[in-house]
């Protein structure tokens, strides 16, 4: 049996709720219902922008492609939302070091072409003084999502302003940039990802960043299953980061479907917050929904807790013509 909801250790009483159930990993169906209490304040739409900088820049976009500068390399990748025309001349697009070809789907397999010199799998990158490795992957990703820098700056500010020990849980943590930023700011971090390869890359990034002495737990586990176990163990966190895929599988074949599983995971994340939490940050990629959907989910999920829910889009500002390329939706609950 799942433990009673009011045994969370945060001294907030929980009203009984009708047994609308969503399936969870370990404990069977999880009772879910709309929580009682005043809804958090809201701030929407909030557009968080990443401007071109010396570490990363969106140089140009259009015709279903984007031209980016990652450290020393100029890279061309498919971009379905770039339905406008390119601003830079063809000669600028031809001065590239790597071009992704093949499947143009967000998670489709493909390969890289190197017009100048064949490049290795990794290359040195930096974010705000943190060194890490860029990577050419077969899924067109390069080991980092630069639009997330807005979230990284936000959580770093929360951690430093807290002036107390802060515990961060990073679910679906991928290659660990958010974990490294949080650890550098002074937090104790638990980083969870279902991919052993991604965990290995994250550990490598920790060493590359010379942050090996920082307290980061690297855990290869299904995110839902880990969160459920943390709830039963009474583990609590001040900040929870959620960056789930639309679809995925855990290391033991566990299936993740965002629209089916996200409501239960948000519910669990609320239950594993400390008595004085700071934030829960949700980012969603490649889903057929607007940010209003996850905004409503987060406001309902954190009813009675005060604070505010901020929702909108993460965008990257283009260098050539100043256009904004939307990359993902987000919603975050922030305590006040």
Map residue 163 onto helix, strand or coil.
coil
How many other C-beta atoms can be found within 10 angstroms of the C-beta atom of residue 299? Answer: 20
Taking the mean position of all CA atoms in its chain, how far away is CA 302?
19
- Distance CA(240)–CA(238), nearest Å, equals 7
Q: What is the pLDDT along the chain (336 residues), one digit of tens a residue?
A: 323 322 223 333 333 333 344 555 555 667 777 788 999 999 999 999 999 999 999 999 999 999 999 988 999 999 999 999 999 999 999 999 999 987 555 454 468 889 988 888 899 999 999 999 999 988 888 989 999 999 999 999 999 999 999 999 999 999 999 999 999 999 999 999 999 999 999 999 999 999 999 999 999 999 999 999 999 999 999 999 999 988 878 778 888 888 888 999 999 999 999 999 999 999 998 777 788 999 999 999 999 999 999 999 999 999 999 999 999 999 999 997
Residues in contact with 89: Cβ distance below 8 Å, sequence separation at least 6, in sequence order = none
Domains (range + CATH), the chain: 20-48+145-334 (3.40.50.150), 52-135 (2.60.40.1180)
Contact 99, 113 (CB under 8 A): yes
Query: The whole model's pTM is what?
Result: 0.85
Distance CA 336, CA 334 (A): 6
Q: What is the pLDDT of residue 141?
A: 86
Residue in the block written with tokens 């899924």 = 139
> What is the rounded CA–CA span in Å between residue 307 and residue 305?
7
Structure-block tokens of residue 59: 């140089």
Per-residue pLDDT at 19 = 36
Residues 102/139, Cβ–Cβ less than 8 Å: no
306 near 39, Cβ under 8 Å?
no
Confidence at residue 278, expressed as pLDDT on a 0 to 100 scale: 98
- For the chain, state the CA radius of gyration: 20
Q: In this predicted structure, what is the pLDDT of residue 86?
A: 97
């Amino acid at each position: 049996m799942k433990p009673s909801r009011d045994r969370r250790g945060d001294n907030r009483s929980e009203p009984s709720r009708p047994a609308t159930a969503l399936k969870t990993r370990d404990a069977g169906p999880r009772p879910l219902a709309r929580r009682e209490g005043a809804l958090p304040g809201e701030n929407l739409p909030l557009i968080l922008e990443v401007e071109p900088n010396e570490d990363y820049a969106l140089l140009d976009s259009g015709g279903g492609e984007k031209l980016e500068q990652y450290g020393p390399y100029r890279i061309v990748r498919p971009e379905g939302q770039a339905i406008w025309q390119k601003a830079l001349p063809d000669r600028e697009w031809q001065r590239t070091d790597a071009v992704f070809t093949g499947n143009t789907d967000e998670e489709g397999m493909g390969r890289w072409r190197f017009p100048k010199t064949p490049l290795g799998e990794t290359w040195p990158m930096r974010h705000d003084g943190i060194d890490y490795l860029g990577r050419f992957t077969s899924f067109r990703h390069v080991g980092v999502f630069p639009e997330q820098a807005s979230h990284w700056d936000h959580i770093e500010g929360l951690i430093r302003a807290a002036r107390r020990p802060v515990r961060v849980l990073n679910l679906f943590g991928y290659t660990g940039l958010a974990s490294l930023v949080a650890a550098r700011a002074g937090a104790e971090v638990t980083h969870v990802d279902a991919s052993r390869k991604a965990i290995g890359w994250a550990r490598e990034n920790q060493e590359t960043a010379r942050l090996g002495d920082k307290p980061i737990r690297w855990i290869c586990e299904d995110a839902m299953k880990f969160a459920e176990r943390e709830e039963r163990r009474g583990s609590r966190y001040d900040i929870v980061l959620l960056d789930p895929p639309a679809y995925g599988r855990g290391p033991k074949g566990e299936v993740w479907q965002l629209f089916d599983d996200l409501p239960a995971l948000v519910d669990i994340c609320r239950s594993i917050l400390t008595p004085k939490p700071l934030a829960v940050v949700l980012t969603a990629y490649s889903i057929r929904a607007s940010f209003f959907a996850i905004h409503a989910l987060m406001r309902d999920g954190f009813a009675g807790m005060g604070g505010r829910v901020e929702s909108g889009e993460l965008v990257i500002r283009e260098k050539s013509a100043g256009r904004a390329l939307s990359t993902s939706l987000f919603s975050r609950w922030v305590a006040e």
